[in-house]
């Protein structure tokens, strides 16, 4: 543990870009749906950025600019036909290249810039220019598969970033912890046969995609044991997430010994989110960030990168993000959470059925070799 990096002494990089808020996500249109009520809009992220600015948190970070990615950077995670089709539709009227992932004109360039934001965060941390970094990017990336857009995700931001740092900087083993309320199916699928990336996803069971994220999905070939899924029952609060960290996430990361930890950082497990049914208060995201900081100090010289994924409550996301940045910066008093009473809600203690779900995931992780500590 490097005590030099504790608290406010940590250099925290922060990357965002105005273009991220100009991307048009087009999903809920047609039929009896009146236009104008999209679930995925720029508003929650823009309000998060505004709160970081207003509170002074942003001024404590080190500003980073998105990397300008080349076609070869995208092709490490995606097929050429998919990239070509995306670029062609974007240059016309927009389109749809999967499910729940429609986009407007010009979204290709913005998606490349979004992946470039994640790539810069990983690059700067890998290079030691900053200790940790937060990429407030849009569109998100964790559902995007090699040849298919899914769930508002068009390009696989973190996989593109990790594969670029591996190629350009010799980055070694990376652990991705995905706490977005939905399964990180894209990240999982891109690295499913890659023994040098550990993909851990905590998500509401069978939410989206409803047919992936099971505990039986553990990787393939010599990468068995480098995919770990933690499907949690709807209604889980901080108690369930802390138990999952203690029993599965932290032991799996210790066994894997990453050189960098990356977080697919969705805020849609927050208690006010319209797209998920979990119960996390904003403070929980600070708590989980703090646990990963400790683990990063223990395992990889504090190298931790967070990239924005989902989060659909315009009211709650800003506070979830502020708690996360506060934890990274080691400050605690710059933002007052108006929804803090959620911390005392009856959903917060670990419930019996939630414990059973985590215990089953732990057993699967022990069987695959992902968890070795105290293995039964």
Q: Least distance (Å) from Zn ion to the CB of residue 230?
A: 15
Q: Would you say 138 or 182 has its CB closer to Zn ion?
A: 182
Q: Determine which residue in the list 40, 180, 194, 242 makes contact with Zn ion, applying CB under 5 A.
A: 180
For the bound state, the minimum distance from the C-beta of residue 313 to Zn ion, rounded and expressed in Å, comes to: 12
Q: Is 364:216 a contact under the CB 8 Å cutoff?
A: yes
Active site residue 62: no
Q: Residue 171 or 317: which CB sits closer to Zn ion?
A: 317
Question: Is residue 95 a contact point for Zn ion (CB under 5 A)?
Answer: no
Q: Which of 78, 142, 143, 316 is an active site residue?
A: 143
Residue from the set 116, 225, 310, 318 that interacts with Zn ion by CB under 5 A = 310
273 binds Zn ion (CB under 5 A): no
Residue 268 is a binding residue for Zn ion (CB under 5 A): yes
Q: Where are the beta strands (DSSP E) in 119-254?
A: 132-135, 149-150, 174-178, 197-204, 227-232
- 182 scored as a contact of Zn ion (CB under 5 A): yes
Residue nearest to Zn ion (CB): 310
User: For residues 49-74, b (16+ Cβ closer than 10 Å) or e, as one string?
Assistant: bebbeebebbebbeebebbebeeebb
Query: What b/e readout covers 195-208, taking b as 16+ CB neighbours within 10 angstroms?
Result: ebbbbbbbbbbebb
3-state secondary structure of 119: helix
184 binds Zn ion, rule: CB under 5 A: no
Nearest approach in angstroms of CB 276 to Zn ion is: 7
Nearer to Zn ion by Cβ, of 13 and 310: the residue is 310
Provide the minimum distance between the beta carbon of 350 and Zn ion in the complex, in angstroms, as a whole number: 23
141 is a contact residue toward Zn ion (CB under 5 A):
no
The arrangement of strands across the sheet holding 197-204 comes to 62-64, 12-15, 132-135, 304-308, 260-265, 174-178, 197-204, 227-232
Find the part of the chain contacting Zn ion (CB under 5 A) among 36-44, 164-172, 268-276, 355-363: 268-276
- C-beta atoms surrounding 37 within 10 Å: 9
CB-nearer residue toward Zn ion: 152 or 191: 152
Q: Minimal CA–CA distance to 158: which of 132, 125, 120, 106? A: 120
User: Is 186 a binder of Zn ion (CB under 5 A)?
Assistant: no
Among 103, 137, 115, which residue's Cα sits nearest to residue 265? Answer: 137
Task: Name the one range near Zn ion by CB under 5 A: 152-160, 177-185, 199-207, 335-343.
Answer: 177-185
Neighbouring residues of 137: CB distance < 8 A, sequence distance ≥ 6 = 15, 16, 17, 20, 66, 114, 115, 117, 118, 157, 307, 308
Tell which one of 266, 271, 281, 321 touches Zn ion (CB under 5 A).
266
Interface contacts to Zn ion, rule CB under 5 A: 180, 182, 266, 268, 310
Catalytic residues: 143
């Amino acid at each position: 543990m490097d005590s030099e990096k504790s608290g406010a002494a940590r250099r925290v990089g922060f990357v965002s870009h105005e273009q991220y808020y100009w991307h048009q996500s087009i999903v809920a249109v047609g039929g009896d749906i009146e236009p104008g009520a999209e679930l995925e809009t720029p508003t929650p992220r823009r309000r998060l950025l505004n709160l970081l600015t207003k509170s002074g948190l942003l001024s404590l970070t080190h500003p980073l600019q998105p990397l300008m990615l080349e076609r070869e950077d995208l092709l490490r995670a995606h097929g050429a036909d998919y990239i070509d089709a995306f670029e062609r539709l974007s240059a016309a009227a927009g389109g749809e290249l999967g499910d729940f992932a429609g986009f407007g004109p010009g979204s290709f360039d913005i998606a490349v810039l979004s992946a470039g934001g994640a790539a810069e965060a990983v690059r700067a941390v890998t290079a030691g220019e900053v200790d940790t970094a937060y990429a407030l990017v849009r569109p998100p990336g964790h559902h995007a598969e090699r040849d298919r857009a899914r769930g508002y995700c068009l390009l696989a931001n973190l996989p593109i970033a990790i594969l670029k740092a591996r190629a350009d900087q010799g980055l070694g083993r990376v652990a991705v912890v995905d706490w977005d309320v939905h399964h990180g199916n894209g990240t999982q699928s891109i690295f499913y046969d890659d023994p040098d990336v550990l993909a851990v996803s905590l998500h509401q069971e069978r939410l989206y995609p409803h047919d992936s994220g099971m505990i039986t999905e553990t990787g393939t070939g010599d990468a068995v044991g480098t995919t770990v899924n933690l499907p949690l029952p709807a209604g889980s609060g901080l108690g369930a997430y802390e138990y999952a960290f203690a029993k599965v996430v932290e032991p799996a990361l210790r066994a894997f010994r990453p050189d960098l930890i990356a977080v697919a950082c969705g805020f849609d497990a927050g208690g006010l989110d319209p797209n998920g049914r979990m119960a996390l208060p904003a403070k929980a995201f600070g708590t989980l960030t703090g646990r990963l900081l400790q683990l990063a100090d223990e395992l990889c010289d504090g190298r931790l990168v967070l990239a924005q994924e989902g989060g659909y409550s315009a009211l709650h996301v800003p506070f979830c993000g502020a708690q996360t940045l506060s934890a990274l910066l080691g400050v605690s008093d710059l933002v007052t959470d108006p929804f803090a009473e959620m911390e005392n809600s009856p959903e917060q203690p670990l419930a019996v059925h939630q414990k059973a779900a985590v215990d089953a995931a732990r057993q699967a992780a022990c069987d695959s070799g992902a968890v070795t500590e105290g293995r039964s």
